[in-house]
Structure 1
Amino acid sequence: MGYFIPKSTQVFVNAWAISTDEKYWEEPLSFKPERFLGSKIDFKGQHYEYIPFGAGRRSCPGLPLGDRMMHFVLGTLLHEFDWELDSSTTPNTIDMNEKIGLAMRKLEPLMVVPIKRNV
């Protein structure tokens, strides 16, 4: 591409810019989890429109374990508990602003109350 990068330079990939590129995402700053349902998005970092785990040789070595554990833990929490917003929050007052850093997270934590199911 014509870039000269001096030896020993640290190069960072701007994952936030990639994952909010309007070329790939309709309304990229809107929370729309349904955009991933049935999609062919390669979250393992081979096509670079979405790279939460890095890409190529520098991709996260914990990706396979993290992927399996995320499904296991989330499935267990959803199976064992019903979830309600805390008394100070309504669906219309949930703050969806983000805090940008090494990992992106919500600016204000979402407070929910787990209610044990009688399964």
Structure 2
Amino acid sequence: MIHVQIKRNSEGYITSFKMSGHADFANKGQDIVCAGASAVSFGSINAIMELTGVKPVIKQSNGGYLECKIPETLPSMTAEKVQLLLQGMVVSLQTIQQDYGKYIKITFG
């Protein structure tokens, strides 16, 4: 199962997210749940970097682990753009979870 943990600060802003595990929906290369979750998360990180100029702290491994931390101090307009992109990512991951809940779980903390 893919576990996604979204962390928010006291104001409700997403400060980081972690993804770990494997969906095991299908064989490697044919797993649409893993491919979808990966595309959504990496696409969001790429969009943040390209569209806002913000460089998150990223940790990843070949073993199905991705961690993304957003810098704490950003200009308010930039922070709003980053949050919109991250909220879009959450909506997309929740859509995957609605259809494939046995293979992906999202938690908030």
Fold shared per TM-score above 0.5: no
Richer in strand (by share): 2
Larger Rg: 1
Which structure carries more helix by proportion? 2
Which structure would you say has the larger RCO, counting Cα contacts within 8 Å and 6 or more residues apart?
A: 2
TM-score by structure 2 length? 0.28
